[in-house]
Structure 1
Amino acid sequence: MKKTRILIAWLLMVGPGAFAQTYYLDNVKVENRSVEKVGRSVKVEMDVVMDGLDMKNQHSLRLVPTLVSADGSQELPLEAIVVNGRVRDKVMARQQSLGEPVEEAQVSLRRKNGKAQTVHYQTEVPFSRWMVDGRLDLRGYVTGCAACSEGDELLATGEILPYEEPQYLMQPVAQPKEEVVKRRSEVRTARLQYRQDSHNVLPGYKDNRNELDKVQASIDAVKENADLTITGIYVTGYASPEATVAYNMELSKRRAQKFVEYVQQQNPELDKSLWHVDWKGEDWAGLREEVLKHPRLLKQDEVLKIIDECQGDQDACEEKIKALVPPTIYQRVLNEMYGPLRRNEYRIEYNVRHFELEEARRLLNSRPDLLSVAEIQKVADSYGRNSDEYRAALQVAVRTYPDNVTARNNAALAEIETGHYAEAISLLKDAQEPSLINLLGVAYFKNGQLGEARKAFERAQQAGYAGAADNLKMLQEAEEMLE
């Protein structure tokens, strides 16, 4: 109890100031502050004004300018300024004279209380991108007798390296033009088997029944859809190269005509004026594709060379293939590669009616090909700009109409605006239209690929996009700040 009373009495004599927090930065001012990017470095310059600072004799104030990122996750302390009270300054001077280590600092000085005193501070550090839109704090660390900590302070000097992302010139979201008449077509191939030198359609011969059923199913799919109106059925006959060119031209004609006659009989309700017949004879382009499908064909390169150089007499060209040694080469070509060439291709053309919004929504995933780009855009808009459903609908538009510039532009913009930059790049990387190449540059920039952005803007400029030159200028300014 006696010891306790003595301690309390001592505390009363010392008074409350013995344990009070010391605040010095309230009396420190920062003037003429400058933080600028110079090349790949950041130059920091300021005047630290201490005219109102009253330092206690035993105290040392360590001022540490610190660069801090905008989100506070990264920081870089800079060289310090050390300000000492009278006694503390003498202690440090003695330590230095004895060769004892002291705290490193750019400037170390004694504070002369009551007098004007300013430190001009200047330093330079390597630039890092996180510094952009950051801030510069001046942190104070006070030590007193026996180097015990007396508390830390902070003086916020303001933001640094302000950066406003370029507002690149690009095509905005556009409403696609509606198709006055929605014309569509479906191309199919019927590979029927024929007896030698025959052109008659034989449903029971080999796999013909299966082929004819597929033909009828494709016609029924259009014919029975109340939303569609057939406007034409176009049939083209082809032949393989065995026999003469003249013979095969006539053979492809007869086979195409007989094929149409057979299908017409199965669909008597279709006006005969809808049917159109053409024939091409020998299909050498198709032969080349078939040969490429057989990489293990002996002397494949020689066969392809004969095909590629066949510009005139096709009968002579076939003889060259027949003359290849060993004879099994031609036999393989005849037996394995000629067959797919003997075919009828048919194209069903039809018009599609226009759909109301709810109808279009139902068709979006099942039959988007029956919708126009404008109808798909309306479905997307109904979900709200840049929602997941909006983006998904526009992706459908691009998959369905890959050559439609407006569809691709709108889909890429939606990805960019929602931060899906890689997806936007994927949509645009093969684009050839100037405005889409320019938009690719924007996507690359947003994704942090400044070099690729420059290449895209340069391509857009060469392709004639009016805003590309301005975009290149803005990119250069951004590079100077960010790199």
Structure 2
Amino acid sequence: MKKMMIFFAWMLAACPMAVLGQTHYLESLTLENSKVEKVGRSVRVSVDIRLDAVELNRQQTLRLVPVLVSADGSQQMELKPVVLEGKVRNKVIERKIALGAISEEEGLVRIKRQNGKPQTVDYTTEVPFNRWMVNGRLELRGYVTGCAECSEGDEMLTTGGILPYQDPVLAVSPFVQPEEEEVKRRSEVKMARLEYPVNGYNVLPNFRKNSAELDSVQHSLETVKENLNLTVTGIYITGYASPEGTAAYNLHLSQQRAETFAAYVQKQNPELKKELWHVSWKGEDWDGFVAQVAQAEGWPARAKVQEAIAQCNDNIDACEWKIRQQLSSDDYRYLIDELYAPLRRNEYRIEYNVRSFDLEEAKEMLKTRPDLLSVAEIQRVADSYGRNSDGYRKALDVAVRIYPDNLAARNNAALAAVETEHYAEAIDLLKNARDGASLNLLGVAYWKSGQADKAEETFARAVEAGYGDAGGNLKQLQEAKALFSE
């Protein structure tokens, strides 16, 4: 009991009075070489805390706690603390530790302050990275306690922002001016499936369904002839035969049928000059026959016929005869009527030139015959509605539909989709892109839609294709991925 009385008396002498109220120790600190950086999946905080100007009351403890705080202040993480102890307070703590009354706090940096002398704390710690830390801040909080463990004031010092980040400013592939068509050449390819008696080749308008077929051919020609915007430049007729009979015989038969068909149609259209007509023939359409068999999924003999075709060895006549011998009468009749019939035909292609249209004419043509407009004419219509307006985007969508392989049409439609935040549309437009500019634009669409991995892969492909701006986009994307990876 006497020893305890002496101890308490010594404590009272050492701590005669608690100093209450706000303290001002943090303003005496000097922070040097402060750094907060992401290392792998951790955040490393390092700073040199200079204590030279701190005059710490000998009975007080200053607990310094660095704190990472989110940008909106909703989340925070306290880091390893640093404890500065006045001369007397340090002796008390050391005594308690020696007596086993308390134990050292794990991870604690505890320092006895030597007032009037230079002291520096080389502070370093690492904590797991969390996304909320990006664009946050580092605060240094000070908690002062006296000899009786009473709070004697709190302080806070904001040391600055941490892990700064801005969304990448990606280089977007530019608008592409479509090339003008000096001469707008167009064509229409159609088929005339006329029926003939066995081995016949003359055109018989009243035979079976020939009348309707010939009317369709004439209607196609009249449509072109009557359109004052068009000038017919050529009519190309090609004759085909089915495989029954020898290849030599069928080549001659396809010639006769093509020539008589051309002569018949020519007679119906005498105003079309003879030099516009061009006739050729191909004989048996064997590739067409193979395709017909592949599509005949419900035909019981299909597998047998396909096996025979696979063993043809380029001798078409022998193969056709083998197939005929293997089939029942019903299956052969199906072959003749259903699979061979579509192969007996004449294809005809009408080629014509289209005149140019001014803006108002082009607007009307876009509604009725957009196929007669060039990509450049459609672009002028789009421009007249204002960049990225509904009219602009709809016009460019028509351009892509009519000219799916035109890079300018596809690029400009995709660019409009990106600029109006229709990223899925842009991705669909560019998913088969091969050139560097289109791949770069596709990468932008992927990134904007939150598909970072696909964006990175696509930018890399654009770089390989020689598109320089994609390299900067790739670098920004990789830096962003590295910052946010957990």
Shorter-chain TM range is: 0.7 to 0.9
Aligned residue among 212, 215, 228 for 1:213:
215
Choose 1 or 2 for highest CA Rg: 2
Distance 1:362 1:77 in 2: 65
- Does residue 39 of structure 2 align to residue 35 of structure 1? no
Work out the CA distance in 2 between the residues paired with 1:67 and 1:351. Answer: 70
Determine if the alignment matches structure 1 residue 410 to structure 2 residue 431.
Answer: no
In 2 relative to 1, CA 153–248 (structure 1 residues): closer, same or farther, beyond 3 Å?
same
Aligned 1:103-114 pairs, distance under 5 A: 107=109
Cα separation, 2, equivalents of 1:205 and 1:56: 120
Taking the aligned partners of 2:297 and 2:195, their CA distance within structure 1 comes to 26
Q: CA offset at residue 316 of structure 1?
A: 1.5
Q: Among residues 243, 249, 252, which one is paired with 2:251 in the alignment?
A: 249
Look up the match of 2:79: 79
> Percent identity between the aligned chains?
50
TM-score by length of 1: 0.76
What corresponds to 1:394 in structure 2? 396
Following TM superposition, by how much is the alpha carbon of 1:49 offset from its aligned partner in structure 2, in angstroms?
5.9
Task: Specify every segment of 5 or more residues in structure 2 that has no aligned partner in the other structure, as ranges.
Answer: 1-19
**Do 2:382 and 2:393's aligned partners in 1 also have CA atoms closer than 8 Å?**
yes
Alignment of 1:341-356 (within 5 A): 341-356=343-358
Corresponding pairs, count: 462
- Could you list the per-position Cα deviations for residues 337-380 of structure 1 after superposition, in whole angstroms to 9, with x for gaps in the alignment? 11111111111111111122233233335433212122222233
What is the 5 A alignment of 1:60-209? 63-69=65-71, 72=72, 75-79=75-79, 81=81, 107=109, 120-128=122-130, 131-132=133-134, 134-138=135-139, 140=141, 155=158, 157-162=160-165, 165=168, 167=170, 172-209=174-211
> Aligned equivalents of 1:283 and 1:399: distance in 2?
31
Change (3 A) 1:349 1:455: same
Post-superposition shift, 1:44?
A: 2.0
- The one-character-per-residue Cα deviations of 1:323-347 (angstroms, maximum 9, x if unpaired) are 2254544332222111111111111
> Which range moves more in the overlay, 383-392 or 106-115?
106-115
For 1:128 and 1:117, how far apart are their aligned partners in 2? 33
Contact 1:398–1:404, Cα closer than 8 Å, also in 2: yes
3-state DSSP of counterpart to 2:44? strand
Q: What is the CA–CA distance in structure 2 between the aligned matches of 1:336 and 1:479, rounded to whole Å?
A: 60
Matches within 5 A, 1:459-478: 459-460=461-462, 477=479
Q: Give 1:471 deviation, angstroms.
A: 6.6
Q: Distance in 1 between the 2:95 and 2:183 partners?
A: 96
Q: Distance in 1 between matches of 2:212 and 2:366?
A: 31
Name the TM-score, length of structure 2 as normaliser.
Answer: 0.76
Aligned to 1:431: 433
Given that 1:191 and 1:342 are in contact with CA atoms closer than 8 Å, whether structure 2 keeps it comes out as: yes
- In structure 2, relative to structure 1, the CA distance for the partners of 1:136 and 1:291 (3 Å cut) is same
Distance 1:207 1:151, change over 3 A: farther
Tell me how far 1:413 sits from its aligned partner: 3.3
Is the contact between residue 66 and residue 77 of structure 1 (CA under 8 Å) also seen in structure 2? yes
Cα 1:140–1:460 change in 2 (3 A) is: closer
**Preserved contact between residue 80 and residue 104 of structure 1 (Cα < 8 Å):** no
Give the deviation of 1:236 after TM superposition: 1.1
Q: Secondary structure at the match of 1:296?
A: coil
Q: Which amino acid aligns with 1:165?
A: P
Q: Which amino acid aligns with 1:361?
A: K
The answer to whether the 8 A contact 1:437-1:460 is kept is yes
Paired residue secondary structure (1:256): helix
Long gaps (5+) in structure 1: 1-17
Q: Hey, what's the Cα distance between the residues in 1 that align with 2:346 and 2:379?
A: 37
Code of the residue aligned with 1:411 in structure 2: it is A
RMSD of the alignment, in Å? 4.3
User: Within 2, Cα distance between the matches of 1:372 and 1:55?
Assistant: 86
